[in-house]
Amino acid sequence: MPVQIDIEHVARLARLDLTDEEKRRLAAQLGAILEHAAKVGEVATADVPPTASAIPRANVLRPDEPRPSLSADEALANAPATADERFLVPRIVEIE
């Protein structure tokens, strides 16, 4: 059975504007893909540990030495909007 998905909810979580046509198409396609993908449940039993990375590495550090990094101009060069050496975004807090 194709999986039923609350497309509006998932799109909101993903911060993704979708047209009504996209929502219709995605609901059908994701339902079919997830039905196939749910096969993982057939063999993934409780005694099998999960793998997040095939070659796990932990606490990989490099020496904490000062060295040149991007200038503010380089870091801001691709930004859609900047002001005063900062990224400019829509207002996120209300001012009294």
Partner 1 sequence: MSELCDLTATELAERLRAGEVSSAEIVESCLRRADAVDDRVEAFLTRTQDVARQQAVVADERIAAGDAPAVTGIPIALKDVLTTRGIRTTCGSRILESYVPPYDSTAWARLRASDAVLLGKTNCDEFAMGSSNENSAFGPVHNPWDLDTVPGGSSGGSAAAVAAGEAVWALGTDTGGSVRQPASLCGVVGLKPTYGLISRYGLIAFASSLDTVGTFTRSVRDAATLLSTLGGRDPMDATSLDEEPRDHTAALTGDVAGLRVGVVREAFGEGVQPGVRASVQAAIDRLADLGASVGEASLPHTDYALSAYYLIAPSEASSNLARYDGVRYGLRVEGGDSVEMMSRTRGAGFGPEVKRRIMLGTYSLSAGYYEAYYGQAQKVRTLIIRDYERAFTDFDVLVSPTSPTTAFRIGERADDPLAMYLSDVFTIPANLSGMPAISIPSGLDEAGLPVGVQLTAPILGEAILLRAADALERAIGFDAVPRLVRDLGGS
Site for partner 1 (CB under 8 A): how many residues?
Answer: 52
Name the residue nearer to partner 1 (CB basis): 52 or 96: 52
**Residue 53 Cβ vs partner 1, minimum distance, rounded to whole Å:** 5
Task: Quote the strand ranges of the chain, DSSP E.
Answer: 82-83, 86-87
The reply to whether 72 sits near partner 1 by the rule CB under 8 A is no
Q: At a CB cut-off of 8 Å and minimum separation 6, what does 8 contact? A: 23
Residues 9-68 that bind partner 1 (CB under 8 A): 10-11, 13-19, 22, 26, 29-30, 32-34, 36-45, 48-55, 57, 60, 62
Q: Is 2 in the site for partner 1 (CB under 8 A)?
A: no
Residue with tokens 């801001």: 76
Report the alpha-carbon angle 60-64-67, nearest 5. 120
